[in-house]
Chain A
Amino acid sequence: MFVKIFRILGRNIRDSFKSVFRNFSLSLASIACIVITLIVVSIAMILSFNVNNFTKAVERDMTIVAFLNRDISLERIEEIKDEINVINYVESFTFEDKMTISEEMMEESSDFDSILGKYEQREDNPLLDAFQIKVTDINQIENVANQISEIDGVYNVKYGEGMVEQLVSVFDIVKKISYGVVIALVIVTAFLISNTIKITIFSRKREIEIMRLVGASNINIKIPFIFEGLFLGLFGSVIPVLVTIFGYEALYNTFNGQVISPFIQLIVPLPFTYFVSIALIAIGILVGMFGSWRAVKKYLKI
């Protein structure tokens, strides 16, 4: 029984493969359609992943800076550390001692050296001790900042109010739009390919009729066409995969991995383009099979 099924399946695959080449001009139409749409899908995917990547990078860099009162005691600083620790959504924080900061500044520039050099005692230092706090969820940054500002001994809290919220909501919209575009493109591709294959299968109505005549069941008829769709999708994804892998690499090298400013970093090509390629092949195959299946169904008497 299994031997028989595999034998039939093997023949179906062989015949589908032959059929792609024997109906080459028709296959070419379907393949061209798949190639073009998959390239567009690839571009949309690369764009949306990069926007996503950039958004995440920016979000990672977002920090809350909490300045402490100038006359704060070292004991109180230790207490504040414990208090920050128990706040929700705090990922990590660092304490920046005002003496360390002033030393760094003095090393950086002789101007600072001449001004800050006068204050050798901690009590005299005009700078403020500060905490830098990172949050786990960018949407909670305001909430966390508010909680920290209420801690006794905290003088002031800065986190780029207003700008952060705006940036977050813009990124959110961009992310949603780019995902939407990719999904819409895949669906449109599926139907476009389905219709192209339908047109090409129309010319093979006779073939289906003869298959029925010699005793092919509906499954017998459908399977070779579905495999044919699989091959069309597979062949159709070759060029988009090459374009993705080499095109993105070239793009990355031309821009030195960044767009406009070092602030906007591109995703490193490998293994990123491999993932995109696998997705493209999968989309090509599924969409090709779906297209054939939908197209052949029309010509079967069920």
Chain B
Amino acid sequence: MDLIRIKNVEKTYKTGVTAIYDLSLNIEKGEFVFIIGSTGCGKSTLIKMLYREEKPTSGIINIGGINVSKLKNRNVYKIRRKIGVVFQDFKLLPKLTVYENVAFALEIFGLPTSEVHSKVIKSLELVGLKHKAKNYPHQLSGGEQQRVAIARAIVNGPKLLICDEPTGNLDESTSMEIMKVLEEINKLGTTIIMVTHDTEIVDKMKKRVILLDSGRIVKDYKEGEYVREDI
């Protein structure tokens, strides 16, 4: 069953630059998909439209039954509550502890405190940071901070996890740790879309890979098909 249906989507910015041309794409529930391509190929624009930071100029984006392309600004939170997003720069709140950063995403729904607690602990356990719950973000390494960000993204059990260059700021071994965490989350049933330019990781993971160039899909590799060329 398809979780994401993108149909004839086009995105032209107000500046007149067209980032995405007539793009159609389906992603099934439980898939792990990499989106790769050179800088400026439109991969960031594409995922920004998925979590409705940007609105497509034309076309339809449907995620789990919600027409994201038609969502009004004040209703954006409806889709944000169904998906998790992870960024290159972590986007943690520096004044909140690890626990509070993760709990934050649940408390706005008005969940009972005991439920918040058990979910946060479960989520932190999954990323292996339960013992750092009381630390502040600046006391953690980059990899740990990213794991906190992942814990926050998945704490309310989203169907979809969007990762925008999650390993961009991290070294190789830390990056692989993050990938292990993501794979684990994927195994538990969450669909993952990850944008990256780190082809080494993509090569190792053997997942579906979508190659973008100048706002168009040039190649859609099935699981295990992708082979890194530039070695």
Contacts and interface: CB of A to CB of B under 8 A. Distances in A.
Interface of A: 4-5, 7-8, 11, 19, 22-23, 206-207, 209-218, 220, 301-302
23 contacts: A5-B110, A8-B107, A11-B107, A11-B110, A23-B95, A206-B91, A207-B93, A210-B93, A211-B108, A214-B104, A214-B108, A214-B152, A215-B80, A215-B81, A216-B77, A217-B74, A217-B77, A218-B74, A218-B77, A220-B77, A301-B73, A301-B74, A302-B74
Nearest to A217: B77
B108 A220 contact: yes
A7 B81 CA distance: 18
A214 B80 contact: yes
**Among B81, B104, B111, B112, residue most surrounded by chain A Cβ atoms (within 10 Å):** B104
B110 A7 contact: yes
Contacts, number: 57
Interface residues of B, number: 23
B74 A215 contact: no
A213 B113 CA distance: 22
Contacts of A22: 95
Contacts of B152: 214
B77 A215 contact: yes
Contacts of A216: 77, 80, 108
B108 A212 contact: no
B105 A215 contact: yes
Interface string B89-110: 0011101000000001101111
Nearest to A207: B93
B218 interface: no
B110 A212 contact: no
B95 A213 contact: no
A214 B150 CA distance: 12
**Which 7 pairs, one residue from A and one from B, show the smallest C-beta to C-beta distance?**
A215-B81, A215-B80, A4-B110, A214-B105, A8-B110, A217-B77, A22-B95
Nearest to B92: A210
Interface of B: 51, 73-74, 76-77, 80-81, 85, 91-93, 95, 104-105, 107-113, 152, 156
Given A22-B95, A212-B77, 13 more contacts: A8-B108, A210-B91, A213-B80, A213-B85, A214-B104, A214-B105, A214-B108, A215-B81, A215-B105, A215-B108, A215-B156, A216-B80, A217-B74
Contacts of A217: 74, 77, 108
Contacts of A302: 73-74
Secondary structure type dominating chain A contacts: helix
Contacts of B85: 213
A218 B80 CA distance: 13
B101 to A, nearest CB: 9
Nearest to B96: A22
Contacts of B156: 215
Nearest to B84: A214
A18 to B, nearest CB: 9
A185 to B, nearest CB: 34
A56 to B, nearest CB: 53
A212 B76 contact: yes
Contacts of B77: 212, 215-218, 220
Nearest to A8: B110
A211 B106 CA distance: 11
A216 B107 CA distance: 10
Contacts of B91: 206, 209-210, 213
A4 B91 CA distance: 27
A22 B113 CA distance: 22
**Among B74, B77, B92, B113, residue most surrounded by chain A Cβ atoms (within 10 Å):** B77
Contacts of A19: 95
A22 B93 CA distance: 12
B108 A7 contact: no
Contacts of A5: 110
A33 B93 CA distance: 27
A247 B73 CA distance: 51
Nearest to A5: B110
Nearest to A22: B95
A140 to B, nearest CB: 59
A254 B51 CA distance: 68
Contacts of B111: 7
